[in-house]
Structure 1
Amino acid sequence: PIAEIDLDHNHTVDRIGAREKRKVIGGEIAPLERYPYMVEFWPWPPECGGSLIHPQVVITAAHCFYNEPKPDNVDIGRHTRNSVVPGDKFENRKVVDLLVHPKYKGNQGDPDVAIMKLERPSRMTPVKLSKNSNDAKPGTIVTVIGWGKCSMNGSCNEISELKHGDLKMMPQAQCKNQLKFPNLEFTPTVEICARDTAKKTADCNGDSGGPIVKRGANAAADIQVGVVSWGPFNCLAGPSA
């Protein structure tokens, strides 16, 4: 399982992720209302996202909020940033508590996950967390979701629509071999990785904290297998964790 979370604040998190703000490159614009559990933070950080995993709980990446204050509010199920388009149905909720994983200290290999408690429950459909390691086994097609960067040459328009793109889960040994940087290295005990072997789709700078899901027929059937965490500076050059 990637997480076991209760509202008494006893948390154990497994197979989540490690460090830089990421954004979806390539992929395509998501259908309206396809991801009602997708979360945007207000007033900041615009570089990060999250997902609703319980009517009153949001999961995201720890590095988005490490040594930082909690956001004031979240928009749940929003499709378009900085504007509202016809059919864009979402809810706004106040954040009352932010809990960064107690073992996260900003270092390599720390569990890069945090959760937030909302003031009142959301009516949007939450995403289910994986309880089966086979949901993220090598070769499985997963989907990364987020706003922002459309290509390595620049950003999307200021008013950006939610995007999604498919990636393939990679073997742990291959992740460890390809995700090596001066201050970062893949940690199999807490991380998984995925990539588009055609190098057309990737998460990139700005989608940190957003969900990696095994898509079902609809949002209620989606299964979240991870949280976007980090990857290469050239986002299409290799896998991301």
Structure 2
Amino acid sequence: MPEGATAMMPPEPASSLAIVMPVLNEAAGIEAALRALMPLMARGVRVLVADGGSADDTPARARRFGGVEVIEAPRGRAAQMNAGAQAASGARVLLFLHADTTLPPDADRLIEQALAGGRHVWGRFDVRIAGRPRMLRVVAACMNVRSRWSGIATGDQALFMTRAAFDAIGGFPEQPLMEDIEMSKRLRTLSRPACLRERVITSGRRWESRGVWATIVLMWRLRWAYWRGASPQVLARRYE
């Protein structure tokens, strides 16, 4: 941790947690995603769905769940997450969750323990990728090891952070790709991440639709280009 980081970022209790879920055309899975969060909501966790202009009935389906807050946001995952964080006034801890990712049932307690004491102001979970190809287990294991070694996390790993940390770095950079990588780099200036070994489960649909090896090669090429200074806008076009 950089010298003085603890003084700059006083520890905050994790008793007020808000989950921000950016969505776009997730009607097929939004109800299952929100149903999985109901036990956490029953313990006082807020859930905010930040819709980026879905063409289907994602917002309507989300509003069927009492207590879920649905907000409209500019399209783009980073912009949607920032809008959700802004709407989550009063929350001392923010968790950013993809619609196709499921948290451990005691995620709130795990986050509270991870942030207690002020050594860490942000963190992420290990990940398991659901899907038929056995190679997905290897991909997930490599993601977890790489993240633990580098201090860089991806959105699939359910990033969480104190509100103070989020505000200190100005939120997510509003770029069309690699916003999670850039966010991690900025958060890393405040503290190393708390790397929880408990796993979130994320869908393997991206790997299965494009092919596991093709997706691995594509993502490594994009990360290498980003590290070399390529524009996120250019990389987003390559990704699509």
TM-score by length of 2: 0.30
Higher-Rg structure is: 2
More relative contact order, 1 or 2 (CA 8 Å, 6+ apart)? 1
Higher strand share: 1
TM-score by length of 1: 0.30
